């Protein structure tokens, strides 16, 4: 997700959370999500367009096949002078579940590769509302599985593969990790940057609304685009909304970062607490006075620079 302010409708606090969405609202959300996509894509392109190009990183295109036969585009980003070897990261881009393109994220992913020397595999998963439920997470998992299957050929250690994502990509990446656990694959870590984890985060917190950059209205639209009338009900699968999982055992060590003024703060903290209770190591950062996407709103700010140093440290430690 990127900076996007929307006006909060009166219905946002009318008790919809936990009760699902009406068919009429779900249809309207589908249309709203499609209308939102161009502005989100433009925002992402602008946010990352200022990152200097990494001339020492090469990108090659590959593909993985989803369970339904769909071909998923993968891009392998590698630093040329130090072809690696050892660790690797599967990267899942953001975009509110309804937007985001590999082209727009290429400079950001190259930036991480340039600063760490660790190769990244970015995954072009299918977007809501055209593809709903667990489809995005399953597509991301197909990228994870592809890297595990091709690890020897790429000189990657299967025991040192992490999954990373920002915003919607953080939630989808966490869902892919849950699917990997079901299939007997265990990534070495998950790195979740202000992730969308819980479809029930739609009722405004009065202590946050004046600071909101990613709004409750936008969050409700995005989640309903992904889940339709199931949003807010007990039928939502954990792979689609990872906060719904009741079993955190066996999940990989986690790095989790969120802004203090982000509407996703409480769900991120709750996820970290659930990991702690399951005995899973978790490094949690709640960035003071930071909003959603703070790192690209003002990348020169010290809080953004510190966040990048922490991410580079964690990636480099794989």
The residue behind tokens 């209770």 is 277
Tell me the per-residue pLDDT of 231-270, one tens digit each, with 9 for 90 and over: 999 999 999 999 999 999 999 999 999 999 999 999 999 9
Q: Which of 167, 198, 199, 215 is catalytic?
A: 167
- Which pLDDT score, from 0 to 100, does residue 8 have? 32
Query: Where residue 80 falls among pLDDT bands split at 50, 70, 90?
Result: confident
157 is catalytic: no
User: Superfamily assignment of 10-316 in CATH?
Assistant: Alpha/Beta hydrolase fold, catalytic domain (3.40.50.1820)
- Which pLDDT score, from 0 to 100, does residue 17 have? 41
167 is catalytic: yes
With contact defined as beta carbons under 8 Å apart, do 291 and 262 qualify?
yes
DSSP characters over 58-109: EEEEEEEE-TTS-EEEEEEEEETTS---EEEEEEE--STTT---HHHHHHHH
The SS3 of residue 143 is helix
Domain map of the chain by residue range?
Answer: 10-316
Tell me the per-residue pLDDT of 138-192, one tens digit each, with 9 for 90 and over: 999 999 999 999 999 999 999 999 999 999 999 999 999 999 999 999 999 999 9
- Which pLDDT score, from 0 to 100, does residue 25 have? 76
Token output for 262: 């982000």
Instruction: Quote the CA–CA distance of 281 and 272 in Å, as a whole number.
Output: 9
Q: Which of 41, 262, 285, 295 is catalytic?
A: 262
With contact defined as beta carbons under 8 Å apart, do 138 and 182 qualify?
no
Token output for 230: 């199931």
Query: Where residue 28 falls among pLDDT bands split at 50, 70, 90?
Result: confident
pLDDT, the chain, mean? 91
The Cβ-side half-sphere exposure at 35, using a 13 Å CA radius, reads 9
Q: What is the pTM of this model?
A: 0.92
Tell me the per-residue pLDDT of 95-144, one tens digit each, with 9 for 90 and over: 999 999 999 999 999 999 999 999 999 999 999 999 999 999 999 999 99
Q: Which of 122, 131, 292, 295 is catalytic?
A: 292
262 is catalytic: yes
Q: CA torsion angle for 68, 71, 77, 82 (degrees, to 10)? A: 80
């Amino acid at each position: 997700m990127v900076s996007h302010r929307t006006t909060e409708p009166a219905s946002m606090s009318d008790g919809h959370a936990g009760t699902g969405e009406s068919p009429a609202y779900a249809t309207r959300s589908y249309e709203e999500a499609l209308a939102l996509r161009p502005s989100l894509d433009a925002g992402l392109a602008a946010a990352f367009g200022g990152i200097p190009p990494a001339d020492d990183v090469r990108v090659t295109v590959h593909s993985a096949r989803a369970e339904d036969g769909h071909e998923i585009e993968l891009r392998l980003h590698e630093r040329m002078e130090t072809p690696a070897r050892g660790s690797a990261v599967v990267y899942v881009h953001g975009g509110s579940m309804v937007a985001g393109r590999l082209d727009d994220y290429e400079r950001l992913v190259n930036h991480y590769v340039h600063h760490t020397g660790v190769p990244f595999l970015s995954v072009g998963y299918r977007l809501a509302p055209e593809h709903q439920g667990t489809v995005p997470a399953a597509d991301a998992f197909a990228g994870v599985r592809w890297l595990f299957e091709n690890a020897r050929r790429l000189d990657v250690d299967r025991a040192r593969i992490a999954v990373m994502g920002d915003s919607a990509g953080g939630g989808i990446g966490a869902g892919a990790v849950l699917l990997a656990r079901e299939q007997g694959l265990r990534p070495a870590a998950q790195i979740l940057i202000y992730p969308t984890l819980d479809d029930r985060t739609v009722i405004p917190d009065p202590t946050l609304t004046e600071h909101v950059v990613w709004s409750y209205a936008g969050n409700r639209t995005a989640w309903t685009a992904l889940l339709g009338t199931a949003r807010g009900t007990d039928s939502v699968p954990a792979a689609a909304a990872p906060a719904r999982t009741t079993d955190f055992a066996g999940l990989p060590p986690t790095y989790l970062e969120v802004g203090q003024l982000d509407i996703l703060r409480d769900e991120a903290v709750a996820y970290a607490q659930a990991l702690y209770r399951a005995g899973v190591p978790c490094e949690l950062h709640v960035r003071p006075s930071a909003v959603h996407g703070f790192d690209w709103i003002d990348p020169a700010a010290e809080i953004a620079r510190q966040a990048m140093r922490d991410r580079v440290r964690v990636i480099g430690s794989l």
